[in-house]
Structure 1
Amino acid sequence: MLDFAIFAVTFVIILVGAVLYLYPVNGNLQDIVNRGSLHEFLVSLHQEFGSVASFWFGGRPVVSLGSVHQLQQHINPNHSTDSFETMLKSLLGYQSGIGGGANESVIRKKVYENAINTMLKNNFSLVLKLVDELVGKWRSFPEDQHTPLCAHLLGLALKAVTQLALGERFRDDTEVISFRKNHDAIWSEIGKGYLDGSLEKSSSRKERYEKALSEMESMLVSVEKERKAQRRQTAFVDSLLQSSLTERQIMEDCMVFTLAGSVITANLCIWALHFLSTSEEVQDKLYQELEDVLGSDPISLDKIAQLTYCQQVLNETVRTAKLTPVAARLQEVEGKVDQHVIPKETLVIYALGVVLQDSETWRTPYRFDPDRFKEESARKSFCLLGFSGNQTCPELRFAYTVATVLLSTLVRQLKLHQLKGQVMEVRSELVSTPKDETWITVSRRS
């Protein structure tokens, strides 16, 4: 199965951007703009035409699948070793590979995944330390003080990703701030500039994007050289240095992980704490599981698998927030979904945001209810969509680990409270992100 669920939408963005540039008035492009996002357009499309629907990106026909049943039919006969990293690298203009063959791609993917696993094993205590610092800060706040989730949790994600991936250099806050400046400039254009075609039409924005990308690449190359000279073996980059990858390939993999890992981790944590703040019952159930499994001990890497309800909370966070609302792949050979023939080289969109809130798959789909994942059917549907199991992308697995450490530390010490009257609006781009800062208050557990 293609690791499509997280950020496969980047491939869509390349095509949309190209089409918008070449065919600015054709097809359904204006409809997408009018709806505000590709996700919102797909919601209306499937409401009107059912779970299999077609539309036009400029002069190109596209098929969109909007139910678990149709997705299952399409995924199973189209098994591919291509991963999201390949597509994100394409968006960034990275084309290098080990040797170009399928086996080489699989090897490179395994090197990447093993590097993340080794990094977490070697640096789990650092994740605990960063989370403890944040929770300690929140404990010091007066109970009526408003706490900004987006600012604090993006800071946590950036520190965790840079220090674990690139090493001790990023214990210096000035290095993290510099990283964030370029990260934000790159990611904002990946999320927006390609979708609306505006990046190619603005020379000043394109210049800023290219400058940020160049500075980030230079920084990653310098880190690579430093770590190679030091012969350390604790960070993500160190594992890559032990492999047969070239200097360029190592830089590319570090770019992909630090870019995507920061955004996925931050937004998973933001949405999880937001939803927890809306339900005292869920917080209490999570607190009880943490007490039963961990007692007064800190979380450890081997205990994460025992936190069943915590996993349910994070799964439900991904589902309710529609963390990645759209994914895509090219039809490699002619295929069929129900009675619909899909010609070779058709762009097929997986409308994940539609499927994640489909009432035929999920009871009371707009309600945050972690207990739904007690059911085998819910777990199977979630796994099919690529959000759990062996096909989960490495960046999401990393984010789940950091989020579990955060929840296990925070919920045992503090209660989260929603601000009255706060309305959450979502920006559905590559990752569903709150449009504005999200605030909560905290109080100490007695």
Structure 2
Amino acid sequence: MLRRPQLWIGTGLIAAVVSMLFALLYVGGNVNPRGNLRDLPVALVNADAGADAGGRRVNLGEQVVSGVEKAAEGDRSIDWQLVSREEADKRLGSGKVFGALVIPREFSATVTALAAPQPPAQGKPAPPVITVLTNQSSGSIGSSMSSQAAQKAAHAASAQIGQELLKQAAAQKTPLPTAAQLKLADPVTVTVADGHPVGSRSAMGLSAFYYALVLVVCGMLGANLVNSQIDTALGYLHTDYGPVRKREPVQHTSRVRTLAVGIALMLGMSVIMGTLVEVATVAILDMDASHLGLLWLYSVATIAVVGIGGLALFAAFGTPGMLLATIVFIAMAVPSSGATVPLQALPGFFRGLAEFEPLRQITEGLRSILFYGAQADAGLTRAWTAMGIALAAALLFGFAVTRLYDRRGLHRIPRPDADETPEPPAAAEAPAPATA
């Protein structure tokens, strides 16, 4: 067999295509997130109430906001969204932004106090503070990118304010000590806090992605298992148990009926698999989770839809359908899911894939259930809608193709012709008697 060129060529082509495709998709989507970053949503909050300085009213928070927006004019990597603190908390709590830059109410007052002469008995004034909020529930890499951009903007604002404070200090009659001048040059303290905390057993915000990946893999494996078990029961395949081979008598049936039986079996298996996935992750591994009933329903539905989609591909394409299902549900889905690298940091091709690839929709729905209180607008409605569309498309495609095959007589195993009656075997002639 090893001397047959067809064996080497066929296997080599499949292996070459799969390895090249997986490498291009997996690495290509994640190789340069910072270079591909476009419009990462970050909230910008100016709660500064202003202060009186030198007989006039100033609002240094507005100055910081103006500087951030001016710097963003030539840089499309960050989408700064100027909102109130309440709206920022709402968007952090629904995954709409990856972080926030918050200018507090007393910002102008604390800055102007640094330049004002201080009586010795009063002590040092409190330093001005700008807070950077992170959001791990939206993805650790996206949250980190948001935090770095917000801290950079905050330090740039501090340096700009410091230059103005040094000019005001130079105009005073009493020169400032060197240490005081250094403090005025960079007066703002930048603090980092968690804007939407997640539990300690949530994989640092990645548990939704891992759970979604488990559901997709269970759906694919379930479809493969159901497909092989039905073929074995119909006598199309044999089963090996060690050295023992077992094969059932062939039962001729239509492709449509075979697919219908597979879907019914897949629905039953999805209930079992979805239940055990939740038991394993929540009850045994103690994963942080709430809305357990909704999580169970979502898990069962996801496995069922993925499994039915896989069965439709198997029914339409046969053995290559397994490879096609792997490409659709894994190879193209993982890098376009936005679970690790945010969608805003992916190349345009993968952003296009994310519009219909199932893993992105599944992950966003699970984030809503696990992190955002099952809010409909946090991705749950989109996930249910995408799941319904995928189920309808799989059923329509699968039954349309199998019906076409049946009508054209393209049976998996040729049926015996019922009209043709086999002739009885001719009787063997008796041997001639021996003569003397």
Query: For the superposition of Structure 1 and Structure 2, which TM-score range results when normalised by the shorter chain?
Result: under 0.3
Higher relative contact order, chain-length normalized (CA < 8 Å, sep 6+):
1
Larger radius of gyration: 2
Give TM-score, length-normalised by structure 2.
0.21
